[in-house]
Amino acid sequence: MKKGVKSRKLFAAVVDLFIYSILVRIFLFSLYQSGINQQISFLMGLLVGGMLSYVAVPLFLKGQTLGMKMNGLVYSFVNEDTFKNGIILAGRFLSQLFLNIVLLGMPLAINLFLMLWRKDGNTIADRLFASMMVSQKYFSTKKRMGRT
């Protein structure tokens, strides 16, 4: 993977984490102010904020999170079925959230280092869930040539 794409992928991940943290804070504050327990508010904020930013937005923007949209990247899935892609995105997010909660954020750090050190820039979730981030130019060229 070219250095330009790797740096754009890393920047997209950082932007997506920033947007995710803002959404979590919004939901945490609103749920806590409505009288729900602080721990439950935090867990619900993590779930709802992540499902919005990592599942709903990529389904709405045809395979791009907001950070990926800013950097011209897109998820490339094995199949073209939107429902299956939604299940893959939800499974990917929920598994990463669970592992980050249980292992205190270590998988996030490992994924960021894998993005930097590996030649292809793939993370653990890219390998497990048969998806990867590619440049939008490459993706549109691939679609035009009929190789989906």
- pLDDT tens string, the chain, 148 residues long: the values are 566 888 898 899 999 999 999 999 999 999 989 999 999 999 999 999 999 999 999 999 988 999 999 999 988 877 778 888 899 899 999 999 999 999 999 999 999 899 889 888 888 888 888 766 777 776 566 555 555 4
Tokens 């249980």 locate to 102
Contact between 133 and 68 (Cβ < 8 Å): yes
Tokens 């999170």 locate to 65
What are the φ and ψ backbone dihedral angles of 4, each rounded to 5 degrees? -65, -40
Q: Is the dihedral of CA 60, 66, 67, 68 positive or negative?
A: positive
Confidence (pTM): 0.83
